[in-house]
Structure 1
Amino acid sequence: MARRIPQWTPPGVEWVGADLAREDGLVSLFRGTDAVVHLAWRFQPARRPAVAWQTNVLGSIRVFRAAAEAGVPTVVYAAHLRWTLDARGADAAGGASALL
């Protein structure tokens, strides 16, 4: 499943277009698949945190629940984490240190 179908298709892969922000039919898309590889994330979440939350958190929850309901035996999830340090080396969230 991809929001934008790539031109490259490896053997054994079938791309299906969908958008996690609006897609409610994930269970039917996932039913009968061998695996779901979830790599979706919204770039630059700091600029639009509500939009990023919709995609990165709520969209991921939709994927995990749909995969479980569809009986998908394998889910691979890769999270993107970026922690920004200011010029003094303090983390942008105001804490003492960042866990990486």
Structure 2
Amino acid sequence: MCVLLSPCNFSIILPWISRSSIFSAEMGDAKSSWPELLGAPSEVAKQKILSDRPDVRVFVVPVGNNVTGDFNDKRVRVFVNTRGDVARVPNIG
């Protein structure tokens, strides 16, 4: 049996709702995106994310590197440019 907010309910009934939307609803007020870190050094970004969300693992990834396409609610990827600065908004996933 499916439970409210489980992927089995929404993938059939409301296919336009993304997994990240479901995750946000489940997490309540927990921070899931850090737009203020755009352009910041990667280590500063990593420490800020971990201070906001000590329950996640932060991975620093150079822009252009291949990554998996799966959604992981305990992962934040920080994509950095060649200078090591945050090049994309870090998000849970």
How high is the TM-score relative to the length of structure 2?
A: 0.30
The structure richer in strand per residue is 2
The structure number with the bigger radius of gyration is 1
